A and B are shown apart, each in its own frame.
Chain A
Amino acid sequence: MAGISKYVLWVWALNVAVELGLLLALASRKHYRNYPAFFSYICVDLLQAVVLLPGYLRWGFSAALTERFAWGTQGIVIFARAWAIAEICWHLLGQYSGIWALARRILLFFAFLVALYSILTAGWQWDQTVLKADLGLELTIGVVIVILFLFARYYEIVADPALRVLAIGFFLFSCFTVVNGSILQHKLKQYEDLWRILGILAFLASLSLWFSAFRKPLPVLASGPALLPGDVYRTLAPEVNVRLRRLNEQLSKLGRSRKHRS
C-alpha cells in the first residue's frame, strides 16, 4: 500500500460500498429507465474506482503512472457526469417544448462561456492543465445547475423531489471540488492527503443523498402537458410587452415631472 494512508483507504472503501449500494438500488427499482444517464455515470465512476484500485495499492496516489491514468479516466467520468446533468435539465424542462428550447440555448451559452474561460486560464503544465480543466468543468456544472433552477423558479416549474436531490448532490460536489481543487492548486500541496479525504467525503455525502432518494420507488414521471396552440404565444407576448413598456413610460413621467417642477 505504497503512499496510501489507511484512513484514505477506509474512506475510499466506504465510498465504493455506498456507490455499489446506490447502483443496486437503481437497478433493483428499475430507476435506470427514467435516469439512464445517471445510472451510466454511477457505473462509470464505480468502474473507474475498480480499475484504479490495484494501481493505487501498488504505487500509491502520487506516482506519475497512476496519476496520469487517474486523470485520463477522469475525462470519461466527467463526460458521463455532463450527460447526467443534461438529463436533469431534460427532466425538469423537457416537457415544455418552448421553454426547453429557450433554456437549452441559454444553458449551452453559459456552459460554453465558463468552459472557454477555464480553458483559457488553464496553464500548460500537464498536471496543472488537467486539474484546471477538471475544475473548470465542475464550475460549469455548478453554473448550469443554478441557471436551470433559476429558470424553473421564474416559470414556477416545480421539480420532482428525486430530481431536486440529484441536482443538490451534483451541485454540492461540484462546488466542493472547485474549492478543494483551487486551494490544492495554490496553497496546500503539503496537505494533499487531507484534501483527498475531504474530496472523497464530499462525494460520499452526495452518494448518500442520492441513495436516500433512490432507495424507495419514485412516482411515475408525468407525461408532457397539453400545450397551447402555437399562435397564442406569438399574439400575446408582444402585446403584454407593449403594455408593460407603456406602463414603465408612464411611471418614468413621474421622475421627469419632478425634475421639471424643481
Chain B
Amino acid sequence: MFYLPLFGLIALLLILFFWSLRRPRLSKPVGDQAVAFEDPGPRHITYFPQIRQALEPADLAYLASRGPAGLPRRVRKERRRVAFSYITALRGDFQRLLRLARIIAVLSPEVGAVHEFERLRLSVQFSWRCQLLRLRLVCQLAPIPELSGLSCMVSAFAVRMEAAMKELGERAAMAAELASSLESRGIDSR
C-alpha cells in the first residue's frame, strides 16, 4: 500500500484548501474595519478589578463563615463562569489587536518574514496558554497574578497600537499633503 500516504496527503490538502476558501468568521464589512482602526483600544480590560475581586478566596471564606451551606459553592460556580467569559473577551480583544497588526502587514510595502513567523508562533502560544488558564479555573485555582499580568499586557499593547495608529494617520495625512503639493507644482513624484 505504497500510495496510502499519498492519498492521506491529498485528503489533507483538500481539507486545508476548502477550509482556506471559507470566509473567515472575523471578516466583516469594510465599515467595521474602519472602526477597528479608529478604536483599537481593548473593551473588556476595564473589568479586571471586578474579576480579581470575584476570584479572591477571602470573599468565599467570608461567605462560608456567614452564609448558608450551599452559598459559597454556588457563588464560586457563578464567579468561575464570569472569569471564563472574561478570558474569552480578553482573547477577543487580543485577536482584534492582532488583526490590526495583520492589516498593517498587508498594507506595508515591505514585510519581514522573521516578524511574521514570530507573531504566528506567539499567537499559537497565546491560544495554548489561554486554554491552560481555563483548565486552571476548572481545577478551581484562582490565578489572579497571572490574570492581572495578562490584562496588563493586552492593555499596554492596545495603548501602543493606539499611539502607533495615531502616528500612522498623521504620516498618511502628511504624505497626502506632500503628494498634492508636488502635483500642484507639476512635479512627478515617482
Residues of A near any B CB (own CB < 8 A): 96-99, 101-102, 105-106, 139, 142-143, 145-146, 149-150, 152-158, 164, 168, 171, 175, 178-179, 182-183, 185-187, 225-230, 232-241, 243-248, 250-255, 257-258
Q: Which B residues are CB-close (under 8 A) to A96?
A: 106-107
Count the B residues whose beta carbon is within 8 Å of the partner chain — how many? 66
Q: Does B168 contact A (CB under 8 A)?
A: yes
Closest to B112 in A: A237
Among A164, A186, A235, A248, the most chain B Cβ lie within 10 Å of the Cβ of: A248
Contacts A146-B17, A171-B17, A244-B119; is A254 near B132 (CB within 8 Å)?
Answer: yes
Please determine whether A254 and B129 come into contact, CB atoms closer than 8 angstroms. Answer: yes
Between A and B, how many residue pairs show CB distances below 8 Å? 184
In Å, the complex CA distance between A253 and B147 comes to 11
Closest to B174 in A: A229
Please determine whether A146 and B13 come into contact, CB atoms closer than 8 angstroms. Answer: yes
In Å, the complex CA distance between A251 and B147 comes to 8
Closest-CB distance, A67 to chain B (whole angstroms): 22
Please determine whether A237 and B129 come into contact, CB atoms closer than 8 angstroms. Answer: no
Please determine whether B10 and A175 come into contact, CB atoms closer than 8 angstroms. Answer: yes
Please determine whether B13 and A175 come into contact, CB atoms closer than 8 angstroms. Answer: yes
Q: Does B183 contact A (CB under 8 A)?
A: no
Contacts A164-B21, A186-B2; is A235 near B157 (CB within 8 Å)?
Answer: no
Please determine whether A230 and B108 come into contact, CB atoms closer than 8 angstroms. Answer: yes
Please determine whether B107 and A228 come into contact, CB atoms closer than 8 angstroms. Answer: yes
In Å, the complex CA distance between A155 and B6 comes to 29
Q: Is the interface of B mostly helix, strand, loop or mixed?
A: helix
In Å, the complex CA distance between A246 and B129 comes to 13
Q: Which A residues are CB-close (under 8 A) to B190?
A: none
* Selected contact of A233 from candidates B111, B149, B153, CB within 8 Å: B111
* Selected contact of B126 from candidates A157, A230, A234, A244, CB within 8 Å: A244
Q: Does B143 contact A (CB under 8 A)?
A: yes
Q: Which A residues are CB-close (under 8 A) to B43?
A: none
* Selected contact of B143 from candidates A245, A248, A254, CB within 8 Å: A254
Produce 1/0 per residue, B1-41, CB < 8 A to A: 01100110110011011011101101100000000000000
Q: Does B118 contact A (CB under 8 A)?
A: yes
Please determine whether B102 and A156 come into contact, CB atoms closer than 8 angstroms. Answer: yes
Q: Does B156 contact A (CB under 8 A)?
A: yes
Closest to B33 in A: A156
Q: Which A residues are CB-close (under 8 A) to B188?
A: none
